[in-house]
Structure 1
Amino acid sequence: MKITVITPVYNGETTIHSCIDSVLSQTYADVEYIIMDAVSKDKTIPIILKYPEGKIKLISEKDQGLYDAINKGIDEATGDIVCFLCADDMYADRNVLKKIAEGFQTDSTIDIIYSDIVYVNRINTSKIERYWKSSAFSPGLYRKGWLPPNTSFFIKKNSLLLHDKFNIQFKYAADYELNYRLLEKHRLKSVYIPEILVKMRSGGISNAGLLNIYKSLKDCYDVLFFHNVKHPFIYILNTMFYRLKQIYIPSRIKNTIR
C-alpha cells in the first residue's frame, strides 16, 4: 500500500527542512513524496534540491492558492492513500505512516483515517500552544461545532476522486468543505486514531491572527450555505466554542513534546 504525502509550499525556507525530514525519516517504506512549490522566491527550492535524488518529486509552478496546489498534487499522486502536510508542519514521530498503513490494512472498507494534532510554537516546536482533540465521527457532529484536523486526514485516493477534490472557491475553509462533504454528506467510512500524529506550527493561513480566524469562520459559514444547511449560524457559534476549548491543554497531555 503506497502512501502519497503532498506538501504545498511558497517561500518556506525557514521550515521546509523540518517538514521534509519528518517525511523522509518515516519507518514505513512505500511512500511517495510530492512537493508543490508555488515558484518560491527565497531559498526553498535550493533547500529541497539538496536532498538525495529520487526521494522527492518537486513540481514548481504557479497556482491559485494552497488548495489548488494540493489538488494538483493529488492529480500527480500514484499512491493508494493521499495525505497533506504543509511546509510549516511535521509528523510527530517516525512511525506515523506505518500506523496509518496498518490501520487501512485491517479493514479494506475504510476510506479515511484521522487523528489528533497539536499546534506548536514556531521557534520551539516542542512547546504546545493548542491541542486539537478530535473524536470518532457520527452524523450531526458538525452542528455541534465538531471538525477533524485536515492535516491529520489520510484518505484513499479513489474515494477522494469519486467525490471530488478541494473546492478552491473557499480560500480559508476548503478543508472544512471537503471534510463536511466526505463525512457528513457522503458518509465515507472513517476511523479515528486517538493519538497526536502531526505537529503544526502556529501562524498558518487559517490560524494567524484574528482577521484570518474571522475569514476562516466566514468561509465556513459560506460552506454551510453552499450545502443548503439550515441555521448555519448555530454551526459557526459552536465551531467558535470548539476552537476555544482547544487552547486548554488537558492534564494528560504535557505542554512539551519531543
Structure 2
Amino acid sequence: MSLPSSSDSPVPQSTSSEAGSVQDKVLFSVITICRNSEGTLGTALKSLAAQTYTNWEWIMVDGASTDGSVAHASILEGKGVRQTVISEPDRGIYEAMNKGVRRARGTYVHFLNADDLYHDPRVLEDIALALERNSFPDLLYGDIVVVDPAGKESNYISPEPENALREMVCGCLPHQGCFASLNLFNQTVGLFHEEYRTAGDYDWMIRALVSDNVRTYHLPRLVARYCSAGASSKLESSLPESFAVLNKNIALQQALGTQGILEAYQQQVLSLRLQIQQLQTRETSLAKQLQNAKERLAQANQKKDTLRAKIDAGKTRQSASWMPKWLRPGNPKTSDQKGADNQP
C-alpha cells in the first residue's frame, strides 16, 4: 500500500530549522502490539521507516507469535534508532500495552499496532512541531482514516477538547490518533487496567479526560489509518464492557451530569436514525435500479429469442436450397404434389 503525500495534510509546512530544533525536544516511543500479524505488520513498519522525523524509538511487544511476525523487525534495521523486541505470552492486549509503556524512554508514546499505519511520511514531524507550538500538551490527538473489513474508507474527525469528554459517552478518541506524554502513564493517569479485554483504552482515555491536570490539544490532521476489524470493533463483546466502564466512572458522570449524558445519547440516536434513513433511501434507489435492470434484461432476452428464430429459419432455408422449389419447406405445392404422387 502506498502512502499518501504530505500535501493531504492541512498543517503548514515546517522549515528545516524548525524541524531540526524540535528533534532534540521530542522523542517518540512508538509501540507495536501484535500476535501472528505477519500479513499486515510489514506495511505498518514501512510507514514508520518512511517518516521524515528521525527521533523515535520502536518497541515491539509480540504475544509469542507462531508465524513470521518477529522477523519483520528487520525492516527497521539501519534506521539508527533504539529497538526493543519482546516476544512472550501475555494475558491480553492491555498487559502487552503496559509492557511497552514500561520500556518506553521517550517523551511521548504512540501505539502503532500491526493493522495500523501512519497516514503519510510527515506525520511524526508535524506532530512534534504541533507539540512545540502548543507548549507540549499532555495529550495531543489528531484524526484518522477508518478502513472497514470490506476496504471502504471513512475519515474520523476528532472533537475539540471542550467536546472530547462528551464524545466518550457514545464513542472514544481512537488511540491510533493519540500521542500521550509518558508522564501520563507514569504519574497522572497510570497504566491500562489489565482486567479489561476490549475497553482498557476507553477506560484510560476517560480517566485522562476527567483529570484537571491533563491538558489536551486537537490537531486537525489525518495521522493514521486504522483497520476496524480488531477485537475492540466487535460490538457484541466490546459494547457491554464499554458500558460497564461508563457506568462506574463517577468522575465522568459528575463532569457531564445526567442531562449532559442524556443529550449525548440523544445526539447519537439522531445520528443513527439519519444514517438509517439514508440507507433506506439508498435501498429504495437500488431496488428501482434492479427492477429497471431486470426489465432491460427481459427485453434483451426477447430480442435474442427473436434473432435466434430468424437465424434458425435462415439455416432451414439454406439447408433446403438444393431441393427443387416445389419441394422446399413452406411451398404450398409440396404437400399437393406429394399427395398426387401417392395416387394409384
Give the TM bin, normalised by the shorter chain.
0.7 to 0.9
Q: Which has the higher contact order (CA 8 A, sep 6+)?
A: 1
Deviations 1:99-121 (A, max 9, x none): 11111112335111101111125
- Amino acid across the alignment from 1:105: E
Larger Rg: 2
User: Whose helix proportion is higher, 1 or 2?
Assistant: 2
* Greater alpha carbon shift after TM alignment, 85-94 vs 54-63: 54-63
Q: Which secondary structure state, in structure 1, belongs to the residue aligned with residue 38 of structure 2? A: coil
Q: 1:194 aligns with which of 220, 225, 234?
A: 220
Is the alpha carbon distance of 1:193 and 1:143 closer, same or farther for their aligned partners in structure 2, counting shifts above 3 Å? Answer: closer
Pair 1:63-2:90 in alignment = yes
List 4+ stretches of structure 1 deviating above 3 A.
53-56, 121-124, 229-245
- Structure 1 residue 133: deviation in Å? 1.7
Aligned to 2:240: 218
Pair 1:135-2:159 in alignment = yes
Which consecutive residues of structure 2, in runs of 5 or more, have no partner in the other structure? 1-25, 277-344
Aligned to 1:44: 69
Q: TM-score scaled by structure 1?
A: 0.82
Deviations 1:2-57 (A, max 9, x none): 00100000000000000111111111010101110010011111232454266532
Q: 1:115 aligns with which of 133, 142, 149?
A: 142
Deviations 1:117-173 (A, max 9, x none): 11125686xx51x33221112265247535311111101101332120111222111
Aligned to 1:28: 53
| Matched residues, number | 240
In 2, are the aligned partners of 1:3 and 1:30 still within 8 Å (CA)? Answer: yes
Which consecutive residues of structure 1, in runs of 5 or more, have no partner in the other structure? 249-258
- Amino acid across the alignment from 2:229: G
Is the alpha carbon distance of 1:242 and 1:154 closer, same or farther for their aligned partners in structure 2, counting shifts above 3 Å? Answer: farther
Partners of 1:46 and 1:17 in 2: how far apart?
A: 10
- Structure 1 residue 195: deviation in Å? 1.6
- Amino acid across the alignment from 1:92: H
- Structure 1 residue 88: deviation in Å? 0.3
User: Whose strand proportion is higher, 1 or 2?
Assistant: 1
Q: Which secondary structure state, in structure 2, belongs to the residue aligned with residue 206 of structure 1? A: helix
Q: 1:14 aligns with which of 32, 39, 51?
A: 39
- Amino acid across the alignment from 1:147: C
Is the alpha carbon distance of 1:144 and 1:58 closer, same or farther for their aligned partners in structure 2, counting shifts above 3 Å? Answer: closer
Is the alpha carbon distance of 1:238 and 1:36 closer, same or farther for their aligned partners in structure 2, counting shifts above 3 Å? Answer: farther
In 1, are the aligned partners of 2:45 and 2:76 still within 8 Å (CA)? Answer: no
- Structure 1 residue 197: deviation in Å? 0.9
Tell me how large the CA RMSD over aligned residues is.
2.9
Partners of 1:20 and 1:174 in 2: how far apart?
A: 24
- Amino acid across the alignment from 2:244: D
Aligned to 2:120: 93
Q: TM-score scaled by structure 2?
A: 0.63
